[in-house]
Structure 1
Amino acid sequence: MSFFAKKQSTTGDPFLDAVVSMQAEGDVSYTSVGALRNSDIFTAISIVASDVASSPLQVVKNGVPKRDNAITKLLNEQSNDVMDGWHLKFALAVNMLLNGNSFAEIKRDGDQITAIELLPNSSVTIQQMDSGALRYKIGDKKRNVKPEDMLHFKMFTQDGLTGLSPLYALRDEMKIQKSGNKMLGNFFSRGVNGNGILKVDKGVLDKEAKENVRNNWEEVNGGGTNAMRTLILDDTMDYKPLEINTDILKIANSNDWTSRQIASVFRIPVERLGVENTHSNTSQSNLIYVKESLIHYFNCFVSEFNSKLGGQYRFNVDRMLESDPETKSKNILSQVQGSLITINEGRAKLGLEKIENGDRLLASLNYTYLDNLEEYQREKVEPQENMIKEDSVNE
């Protein structure tokens, strides 16, 4: 059973040609770059892909990040001979969002992973055998790649094997936005600011004459260089602009509504698409974005890394949770004073160089462990009790 096949959509609709098509046989065609012509789609995809690419991958053990190893250097620095880690993660995220799937091949030298190479969606075909095993075939020559050597990222999946693009859920919204933009474009491209009535006195005009008058009028008073210029009429003409219902233009230009729908499907805050959001500030928005939106995309990648690369991985999102400089400095100072980090670790977060003796943890004399406090109290109480007993005996 074939899940992916290299085929072109033939709907005739530019947008539908860019949307993942659902076929009865279970085949899914890969998308074109046409969907990126929509500014909101382009912005949403670039935001998510940039944030995924800009978040360094860390290897963790017992929940604690460890020093970078050879694999994290491949994913963060240089993935192969022609592509660095940032662009690999960016391209994988873009393909996953556009197509619902993205692919990268793991290159090995024996047991050692030496490179991770991006594969175009159009070159990958997946087959599920009767036994349930998967086969990945690459290129026109159908080169076989073992499942354990294929990183396959899925945005949204119904069966756990193939992914579905969020563009599939936006077909109707995108048609509405496209129609509204087209209407506004036609309105403003006419040159004369709004439709109007040109009345020609003392004449009976047939269809051809009316067309000639209209064309001459628009040629003289419309067009790019003549738009907004003063109109000059003779005594045989009278021009009256029609009043425009601005409510219709607001409906036609329903950018806020479609932008909100796009933001919702891609799971990003609406303000990142230029739509005002009065219910949260920047810090709250960033926190919600990381905890409720980016975590889904991170998990799409991390689950595959954990399964195919060995070890446990996570994305470092410290950069996205940074607040304003003053708040950041106060938070670091509190961490140093609370013995969570050393002075040099705090200085590193501020971009400052290390200082001598700055690698030791500070501790306040006002704090101690509870068992130490109990022991301290016992040492003070016992001598006093002994003194009382001695006094009793002497009496």
Structure 2
Amino acid sequence: MAIFKRKKKEGSKESFKLISELNLPLSNFGSNISKSDVVKIAIDRIASQCAKLKPRYIKKENDKTVTEKSGRLSFLLKHQPNEVMSTYQFIYFIVTTLFMTDNAFIYPMFDSKTGQLHSLYPLKPTIVEPIVDTANNYYLKFNFETSESFTVPYENIIHLKRFYHSNQIFGGSSSSGDQEALLKTIQINENVLQGIDNALKSSMQIKGLLKMSAMLSESDKKKQLDSFNEILRESVKSKGSSIIPVDLKGDYVPLNTDPKLVDKDTLEFLQSKILDYFGVSAAIFNSDYTEDEFNSFYEQTIEPLAIQMSEAFSLGLLTRNEIMRGEEIIFYSERLQYASWNSKITAIEKLMGLGIMSLNESRALLGLEPVENGDKRLQSLNYVDATKANEYQVGKGDENESND
């Protein structure tokens, strides 16, 4: 009959199921690639090197002579593009924006009274919509977080693009870019890191179970647990031992946790996948590169950006007639600043002998201060005009001198 059945107390158990693993959930990375530290550092490596480029407003004459023009535009490019940015900060900002969204927009603001260029502003729109009127003129409608929107002729915008292939106007697939391929790799990398973190947490959370053979209420079990912890603390404190006696009413069952950590090769592979997306090698990422490694990084990543910016700024800030007259904006790079000491010395010997480099330019390359009258260009007498080489070879120059 039922009256002879043993009645269990509420909350009591006769045995415990051992827990060998803790199933901690993994959180989704999201869609903001800047949350990844690898992405942030990789973009910083590119932007900080691009920010060293020197924009100059120049004019070429007969495709030979190059002169730098003066004026408001030259000042903005060389010193202060707008009220809150230096040239370094300006270039760093637009390059970072370009790699974050595959697009970067710069708005040249002109003075409404004088018509002169006032400043250059990098834009951070949330959405950009292309518009084409009946006369086939292109416009961009910029929408910002403040709910404001502005429509600007496309020819009045300096637009930099990356991964320009699927959309006629924008880099990536839209004005906000397309990071789907990158996000997959970042999510895997994030899951691996979370897995390592969770494995370490699980190994430190539960060390063992105290199995009680008697039927106890919840309050009695708590008292037994408190007593067990107190005995353990006292044993460690007074005797330096974590071994304690257990009577017949309790049985301590240790949990052997063995967190599985990801091997180094897997972690490096995932990181390299992210770095490859930005054109940054592991040596550049870790700032431990050789001269050849930097030159490779420059040619692969920095130089294409310098060319694109030179073209985009020239088209956005100069008229067609000015460009046809030989005027353009060039982003120069002093690549030899990153060369080894021996390479710099060799370059100076060659370039100064050809009259290409002045004394002060040579000193600047070595990190030395300029000297008085150091802007003169020196040239070796071992070189001669190619059109007069034959005359010098047969000694015609000496004969003329003797006849005088």
Task: Report the Cα distance in structure 2 between the residues aligned to 1:321 and 1:99, rounded to whole angstroms.
Answer: 30
Match of 1:103 in 2: 105
Task: Report the Cα distance in structure 2 between the residues aligned to 1:177 and 1:359, rounded to whole angstroms.
Answer: 53
Asked whether the 8 Å contact 2:279–2:301 carries over to 1, the reply is: yes
Match of 1:266 in 2: 278
By relative contact order (CA 8 Å, sep 6+), the higher-ranking structure is 2
Match of 1:118 in 2: 122
Q: Secondary structure at the match of 1:50?
A: helix
Match of 2:322 in 1: none
Measured at CA, do residues 380 and 304 of structure 1 come closer, stay the same or move farther in structure 2, by a change above 3 Å? Answer: closer
Matched residue type, 1:17: S
Q: Secondary structure at the match of 1:145?
A: strand
TM-score of the two chains, using structure 1 as the length reference: 0.71
Asked whether the 8 Å contact 1:287–1:321 carries over to 2, the reply is: no
Offset at residue 305 of structure 1 (A): 0.9
Task: Report the Cα distance in structure 2 between the residues aligned to 1:216 and 1:36, rounded to whole angstroms.
Answer: 47
Match of 1:250 in 2: 263
Task: Report the Cα distance in structure 1 between the residues aligned to 2:44 and 2:157, rounded to whole angstroms.
Answer: 24
Offset at residue 126 of structure 1 (A): 3.2
> Which of 35, 56, 79 is equivalent to 1:77?
79
Q: Identity of paired residues, percent?
A: 18
Q: Is residue 233 from structure 1 mapped to residue 243 from structure 2 by the alignment?
A: yes
> Which of 286, 307, 332 is equivalent to 1:316?
332
Q: Secondary structure at the match of 1:362?
A: strand
Q: Is residue 136 from structure 1 mapped to residue 144 from structure 2 by the alignment?
A: no
Give ranges in structure 1 of 5+ residues lacking alignment.
1-12, 19-34, 221-225, 384-395
Q: Is residue 67 from structure 1 mapped to residue 68 from structure 2 by the alignment?
A: yes
Measured at CA, do residues 51 and 167 of structure 1 come closer, stay the same or move farther in structure 2, by a change above 3 Å? Answer: farther
Asked whether the 8 Å contact 2:314–2:328 carries over to 1, the reply is: yes
Give ranges in structure 2 of 5+ residues lacking alignment.
1-26, 231-235, 247-251, 319-326, 400-404
Asked whether the 8 Å contact 1:286–1:320 carries over to 2, the reply is: no
- The 5 A counterparts of 1:353-372 are 353-355=369-371, 358-372=374-388
Task: Report the Cα distance in structure 2 between the residues aligned to 1:307 and 1:42, rounded to whole angstroms.
Answer: 30
Superposed CA RMSD in Å reads: 3.9
Asked whether the 8 Å contact 1:128–1:134 carries over to 2, the reply is: yes
Measured at CA, do residues 144 and 52 of structure 1 come closer, stay the same or move farther in structure 2, by a change above 3 Å? Answer: same
Q: Is residue 185 from structure 1 mapped to residue 183 from structure 2 by the alignment?
A: no
Match of 1:145 in 2: 152
Offset at residue 102 of structure 1 (A): 2.1
Q: Secondary structure at the match of 1:127?
A: strand
Q: Secondary structure at the match of 1:192?
A: helix
Offset at residue 265 of structure 1 (A): 0.9
Offset at residue 68 of structure 1 (A): 5.4
Task: Report the Cα distance in structure 2 between the residues aligned to 1:205 and 1:332, rounded to whole angstroms.
Answer: 90
Aligned residues: 335
- The 5 A counterparts of 1:169-208 are 169-190=181-202, 192=204, 198=208, 200=210, 203=213
Task: Report the Cα distance in structure 1 between the residues aligned to 2:340 and 2:217, rounded to whole angstroms.
Answer: 68
Task: Report the Cα distance in structure 1 between the residues aligned to 2:131 and 2:215, rounded to whole angstroms.
Answer: 70
> Which of 364, 384, 387 is equivalent to 1:348?
364
> Which of 161, 174, 179 is equivalent to 2:169?
161
Offset at residue 287 of structure 1 (A): 0.9
Match of 1:376 in 2: 392
Q: Secondary structure at the match of 1:241?
A: coil
Offset at residue 77 of structure 1 (A): 1.6
Task: Report the Cα distance in structure 2 between the residues aligned to 1:362 and 1:103, rounded to whole angstroms.
Answer: 43
Task: Report the Cα distance in structure 2 between the residues aligned to 1:216 and 1:283, rounded to whole angstroms.
Answer: 64
Offset at residue 75 of structure 1 (A): 2.9
Deviates more, 1:45-54 or 1:331-340: 331-340
Asked whether the 8 Å contact 1:337–1:363 carries over to 2, the reply is: yes
Structure of larger gyration radius: 2
Q: Secondary structure at the match of 2:80?
A: coil
Measured at CA, do residues 191 and 65 of structure 1 come closer, stay the same or move farther in structure 2, by a change above 3 Å? Answer: farther
Match of 1:337 in 2: 353
Asked whether the 8 Å contact 2:203–2:257 carries over to 1, the reply is: no
